[in-house]
Amino acid sequence: MRTFWLASYPKSGNTWMRILLANLVAGGGEAADINRLRGGFAGARPPFDSVTLIDSGLLSFDEIDALRPRVYEALAAGDAGDTTTDDGSHHHRDGADAPVHFVKVHDAYHLTSRGEPVLAGRRGPEGAVVIVRDPRDIAPSFAHHGRMDIDRTIAFMNDSDACFCGATDRGHQQLRQKLMRWSEHVGSWLAQRDLPVHLVRYEDLQRAPTATLRAALDFAGWPVSDTAIERAVALSAFDRVAAQERETGFREAPHKRSFFRRGEAGAWRSDLTAAQVARIEHDHAPMMQRLGYPLTSAPCLSEAG
């Protein structure tokens, strides 16, 4: 089975894409269970411990990073049969009903202290579907998800040292994941030359879901009919997914808060103040323009993306 990364900065649409893929595999008229999403997560500890036969809790972050490439090599080779969701619960890898195995990853594409790609480079998955979203929409969604105010979230999104699960004063359920600045995160995936990349804009997935999903599946070599894609899109509609979360909960939602908040493209216009919009555009103008996100003001020419 071919393996691909499903890579994104947090709150960019990775979970929605995984739900679309789950409904594509499920077929029929019943929506896939959002608490049993397939594929696995690069930041989960159990696969690391299983492949390396080492308790990751005994290692430093850098020691873990030095070994992570071996884990993803094993996964790509089919030697890591069990995968896990964000919360560490086990799921079996997709079977013959899905010809492609997608693995969620939030890490920026970066190197170990030995100069090796943490995500194994050419020895790992065959390529990456990289999902991007307007950072002005990410900020309020990320703030809600992380229980931070929006101004702190905007500062976090502009911090080159930003990471998930990087505190040293506590244990973490997940491995450390280096995020860097939003611009740096996206740029790291687009600039690397180890793997082929297919770019998906969250906004295009909303505007033209069938065509956008079709292009991603074609890239990954997953043949499927338009009818099947349209069925998956209908079953993955935001209102249906949000209703399922209200009924059964969603194990990936943090702090007992709803995960599926609004899911709208362009909601930043009502969610952010003018000063917050200006700050994000000042911080990330070059990458925003590269990805086709129009600015509300002229960019600062001295800013680097």
Question: Residue 72 falls within a domain, yes or no?
Answer: yes
Question: Residue 24 falls within a domain, yes or no?
Answer: yes
Least confident of 40-54, 63-77, 161-175, 210-224: 161-175
- CATH code of the domain in which 116 resides: 3.40.50.300
Pairing of strands 127-132, 197-201: parallel
183-207 residue pLDDT tens:
999 999 999 999 999 999 999 999 9
Pairing of strands 100-105, 90-92: unpaired
Question: Residue 150 falls within a domain, yes or no?
Answer: no
- Could you tell me the pLDDT band of residue 168, with boundaries at 50, 70 and 90? confident
Question: Residue 155 falls within a domain, yes or no?
Answer: no
Domain count, the chain: 1
Question: Residue 118 falls within a domain, yes or no?
Answer: yes
Question: Residue 285 falls within a domain, yes or no?
Answer: no
Q: What is the pLDDT of residue 238?
A: 81
65-100 residue pLDDT tens:
999 999 999 988 886 554 444 444 444 444 446 889
Exposure b/e, 279-304, CB count within 10 A at least 16 = b: bbbebbbebbeebebebeeeeeeeee
Question: Residue 174 falls within a domain, yes or no?
Answer: yes
Range of the domain at 51: 2-134+161-261
Helix and strand totals (H; E) in the chain: 12, 8
Question: Residue 98 falls within a domain, yes or no?
Answer: yes
